[in-house]
Amino acid sequence: MVARAHPAVAAAVLCAALAACAAASLLVGTRDLGAAAVLDVLRGASDDPEAVAVVAGQRLPRTVVGAVAGAALAVGGALAQAHTRNPLADPGLLGVTAGAALGVVGGATWLGLGTAGGAVWTAFAGAAAATTAVGVVAALASSRRDSGPAALVLAGAAVSALLSSVTGVLLLLDLSALDVYRFWTVGSLAGARGGEALAVVWPFVVAGLVLALAQGRALDVLALGDDTARSLGRSLTGTRVTGVVAVVLLVGAAVSCVGSLGFVGLVAPHLVRRASRGDHRSLLPLAALAGAVLVLAADVVGRLVVQPAELPVGVVLGVLGGPAFLVVVARSARRRQRRSRSARASARASARTAPAAR
Amino acid sequence: MSSPALRLGPLSVRVRPRHLLASSAVVVTAAAVAVVSLAVGEVPLAPARVLAALTGRGTAAEALVVLELRLPRVLLALAVGAVLGMSGATTQLTAGNALASPDLLGVTAGASAGAVTVIVAADRPGASAPLLALGVVGAAVLGGLVAAALVALLLWWVALDGLQPLLVGVGVSALFSGLVSGLLVSASIDDAARATVWLTGSLNARGAQELAVVAVALPLLVVLWAMSSRLSTFALGADVARALGTSTARTVTTALVISVVAVSLATAVAGPVAFVALVAPHLARTLTASPWPPLGASAAAGALLVTGADLVARTALAPVLLPVGAVTALVGAPFLVWLLVRRRNP
């Protein structure tokens, strides 16, 4: 099981799973092509224009988009959880998702951007503006009192709620914006918009990943508490600002490609937390792999269950991912329970023998 | 901070002046906002006339406007706010997490899935008759209770400390939100629009049926309130709570199950009113200068927030009635930001 394995073993397992999911994502679809035909297209040796259109035009882009977005959301989630020291934090916490949603809806209402694909820049700008607002409020709050990550969390919740309610009012007043928004918000890899968006935003993802991975050591220190981190010589402000910038780059880029898939960012770090053994330098890459696997697997399942149509990846992640996550939580809880029960039993046993020894 | 205590034989009650003062101020403000809300509308009345109508000394017309038309809505707002506020405080206390809210426990998503199913199925040819007979409120109650039962079952199965209950809720929540988004994407745009209004959380066009549903939740709040001294030990951490004699697992399970049932009822009548359960405990904690979210004051703060937001929603763009959920955050979020950035000792 990935849960308790050595980080290297976990990484190998997740890499294999990623390769399997990517292969399935290339092979599975409404049109039954066969492995040989798909391989031909990938080698550039295919002379079947239809196969080229399906594989190179649709399946390959959505596979890449799914893997990149899943990895970006998962790392964004892990960063948000580390910086707020709150395992319930998801990448939407810092206002990124709410800002991006307002960007999409505002773009549809005020600029007349009719498709979700046209909304890449408005989504990204909304995400960046919202997170800047969260950062300013949090900075003001923590300069007034020593509240640490709590300020960031509450500022994020307040700004997100404010933006969501503006989005909500716009949606109530404008039916066409609602039509754009409901397909954006569910999170989907279908169609060409993901590929087009990724072609624009990939530098942000790369920059975000570099910033995040460079932070691993700092996050380990931050986990010891603000005071300890400061006394160990860390600049808290510098670390926080870098972290927030990385979250905006990663999550902003991911949601402008695939819509909001908050669940991945919340769950992926939890799936690999035990394997990483509290070391963020292995947690971040493992979470990235787990996020990519989750999104690709959900996408493949979504293409299989209602052929010839398909379920959006966000729906599959919720309906199948939710219960799967429950199983993981329940199993680890029962294991811990058994262990503490046996520890109590042995404590009782030694307490009984202690008087005799005396 | 030391505070005086009242002692009478074996009983003693600690008197916390700031706490008492702030809590009563919130209750009085909520009552005042409720009276204003009864007075404002298409037929404006003086607050004195409202009080006269409430005590049965008003004219027949005043009685009709105040008691029949406006009172159910105001009572609904107060009750829904109180349920959300107190459940929010309970969740934050038991989880020891400032971000926890009953929305994370899956019941909100469950109630939404029930309501949206009926809204979307209403004009489909193949819709089953029992489903439609259930109505939106019935389906929302059913969906919320199914989610609550699921959470309760899982709580009993995994038994838990710290974050486990919330992670369980996150899983249940993801399941039902997935269903909701699936329904929204497959619905016609008109059904999607109606579902969105419900999903914003609204008190428009609610009546006696809804009031009866939420009335069931109020005794649950009394039970929670009776548990508040045990729950407040959780503010010191689960280990200390255990050392102080609180049976932590049983308390957590009982309190959370009561909360999810109450919230599922409140959500069924008003929709998922955003933000109240999260922010009301923070408002209450800051106003009473208490180290943990106090249950009673949180309920009062929630009631104040929803009643105030509903007043704004009803009057801001009159005669257009905004859904209350669109306004709670517009009112509550700036307030929370102000609480965050103001100086503690000016």
A311 touches chain B (CB under 8 A): yes
pLDDT band at A71 (very low <50, low <70, confident <90, very high): very high
Cβ–Cβ gap B274/A183 under 8 Å: no
**Percent above pLDDT 70 for chain A:** 86
pLDDT tens, position by position, A266-305: 888 888 887 777 788 888 999 999 999 999 999 898 888 8
pLDDT tens, position by position, A4-15: 678 888 888 889
Which domains can be identified in chain B, with CATH numbers? 15-341 (1.10.3470.10)
Question: Is-contact B62 B52, C-beta < 8 A?
Answer: yes
Cβ–Cβ gap B341/A144 under 8 Å: yes
Q: Which of B175, B200, B333 sits opposite A158 (nearest CB)?
A: B333
* Nearest of A272, A262, A206, A205 to residue A15 by alpha carbon: A272
For chain B, give the number of residues.
346
Cβ–Cβ gap B326/A169 under 8 Å: yes
A166 touches chain B (CB under 8 A): yes
For chain A, the average pLDDT equals 80
Min Cα–Cα distance to chain A from B88, Å:
14
Please enumerate in sequence order all residues whose Cβ is within 8 A of that of A326, keeping only pairs 6 or more positions apart, or say none: B154, B168, B171, B172
Q: Would the pLDDT of A143 be above 70?
A: no
CATH of the domain at A268: 1.10.3470.10
Residue B56, SS3 per DSSP: coil
In the block, residue with structure tokens 């649950």: B220
Q: Which of B97, B168, B329 sits opposite A162 (nearest CB)?
A: B329
Please enumerate in sequence order all residues whose Cβ is within 8 A of that of B283, keeping only pairs 6 or more positions apart, or say none: B298, B301, B305, B332, B335, B336, B339
Say what the pLDDT of residue A144 is. 55
Q: Would the pLDDT of B82 be above 90?
A: yes
Say what the pLDDT of residue A337 is. 66
Q: Which of B157, B173, B278 sits opposite A330 (nearest CB)?
A: B157
Say what the pLDDT of residue A217 is. 83
In a domain, A144, yes or no: yes
Q: Would the pLDDT of B302 be above 80?
A: yes
Say what the pLDDT of residue B131 is. 67
Say what the pLDDT of residue A336 is. 66
Chain B neighbors of A166, CB-CB under 8 A: 330
Q: Which of B172, B178, B322 sits opposite A317 (nearest CB)?
A: B178
Please enumerate in sequence order all residues whose Cβ is within 8 A of that of B114, keeping only pairs 6 or more positions apart, or say none: B139, B140, B141, B142, B143, B144, B146, B268
Q: Which of B160, B196, B329 sits opposite A161 (nearest CB)?
A: B329
Chain B neighbors of A150, CB-CB under 8 A: 98
Chain A neighbors of B99, CB-CB under 8 A: 86, 88-89, 93, 153, 157
A305 touches chain B (CB under 8 A): no
Using a 10 angstrom Cβ sphere, with 0-12 exposed, 13-18 middle and 19 or more buried, the burial of residue B213 is: buried
In a domain, A47, yes or no: no
pLDDT tens, position by position, B108-118: 889 899 888 88
**Mean pLDDT across B85-106:** 82
Say what the pLDDT of residue B189 is. 81
Our count of domains for chain A comes to 1
In a domain, A265, yes or no: yes
Cβ–Cβ gap B340/A140 under 8 Å: yes
* Nearest of A69, A114, A309, A313 to residue A204 by alpha carbon: A69
Best residue of B172, B337, B342 to probe chain A, by most A CBs closer than 10 Å: B337
Cβ–Cβ gap B178/A162 under 8 Å: no
Min Cα–Cα distance to chain B from A213, Å:
26
In a domain, A350, yes or no: no
**Mean pLDDT across B28-41:** 88
For chain A, give the number of residues.
358
Say what the pLDDT of residue A106 is. 85
H-state helical runs in chain B: 17-39, 47-54, 60-63, 71-95, 107-121, 129-158, 164-186, 189-200, 208-226, 228-232, 238-243, 248-270, 276-288, 295-315, 324-341
Q: Which of A236-250, B80-94, B128-142 has the lowest mean pLDDT?
A: B128-142
Min Cα–Cα distance to chain B from A24, Å:
23
DSSP track, B129-181: HHHHHHHHHHHHHHHHHHHHHHHHHHHHHH---TTHHHHHHHHHHHHHHHHHH
In a domain, A283, yes or no: yes
pLDDT band at A358 (very low <50, low <70, confident <90, very high): very low
Cβ–Cβ gap A161/B275 under 8 Å: yes
What gap in Å lies between CA A120 and CA B16, rounded to an integer?
A: 54
Min Cα–Cα distance to chain B from A40, Å:
36
Say what the pLDDT of residue A357 is. 44
- Per residue, the 3-state secondary structure of chain A, as one string, reads CCCCCCHHHHHHHHHHHHHHHHHHHHHCCCCCCCHHHHHHHHHCCCCCHHHHHHHHHHHHHHHHHHHHHHHHHHHHHHHHHHHHCCCCCCHHHHCHHHHHHHHHHHHHHHCCCCCHHHHHHHHHHHHHHHHHHHHHHHHHHHHHCCCCHHHHHHHHHHHHHHHHHHHHHHHHHCHHHHHHHHHHHHCCCCCCHHHHHHHHHHHHHHHHHHHHHHCHHHHHHHCCCHHHHHHCCCCHHHHHHHHHHHHHHHHHHHHHHHCCCHHHHHHHHHHHHHHHCCCHHHHHHHHHHHHHHHHHHHHHHHHHHCCCCCCCHHHHHHHHHHHHHHHHHHHHHHHHHHHHHHHHHHHHHHHHHHHHHC
pLDDT band at B86 (very low <50, low <70, confident <90, very high): very high
- Chain B residue with minimum CA distance to A262: B174
- Chain A residue with minimum CA distance to B333: A158
User: CA-CA distances (angstroms) from residue B240 to A110, B98, B144, B231?
Assistant: 55, 19, 33, 12
Q: Which of B182, B197, B340 sits opposite A141 (nearest CB)?
A: B340
pLDDT band at A343 (very low <50, low <70, confident <90, very high): low
In a domain, A20, yes or no: no
Q: Would the pLDDT of A149 be above 90?
A: no
Best residue of A105, A153, A260, A326 to probe chain B, by most B CBs closer than 10 Å: A326
- Chain A residue with minimum CA distance to B174: A318
pLDDT tens, position by position, B141-166: 888 888 888 887 887 776 555 566 77
Q: Which of A93, A145, A151 sits opposite B344 (nearest CB)?
A: A145
Min Cα–Cα distance to chain B from A322, Å:
4
pLDDT band at B299 (very low <50, low <70, confident <90, very high): very high
Chain A neighbors of B149, CB-CB under 8 A: none
The domain containing residue A187 runs over which residues?
Answer: 61-340
pLDDT tens, position by position, A22-47: 888 888 877 777 777 788 878 777 77
Q: Would the pLDDT of B300 be above 90?
A: yes
Q: Would the pLDDT of B237 be above 80?
A: no
In a domain, A81, yes or no: yes
pLDDT band at B44 (very low <50, low <70, confident <90, very high): confident
Cβ–Cβ gap B336/A159 under 8 Å: no
Q: Which of B98, B179, B196 sits opposite A150 (nearest CB)?
A: B98
* Nearest of B178, B102, B4 to residue A314 by alpha carbon: B178
In a domain, A34, yes or no: no
Q: Which amino acid is at B51?
A: L
Chain B neighbors of A333, CB-CB under 8 A: 158-160, 164
Chain A neighbors of B175, CB-CB under 8 A: 318-319, 322-323
Say what the pLDDT of residue A70 is. 92
User: CA-CA distances (angstroms) from residue A14 to A65, A253, A286, B16, B20?
Assistant: 18, 23, 8, 55, 56
Say what the pLDDT of residue B83 is. 93
* Nearest of A222, A261, A235 to residue A76 by alpha carbon: A261
Question: Is-contact A221 A280, C-beta < 8 A?
Answer: no
- Chain A residue with minimum CA distance to B320: A173
**Mean pLDDT across A139-168:** 74
A333 touches chain B (CB under 8 A): yes
Say what the pLDDT of residue A351 is. 62
Q: Which of B178, B329, B330 sits opposite A318 (nearest CB)?
A: B178
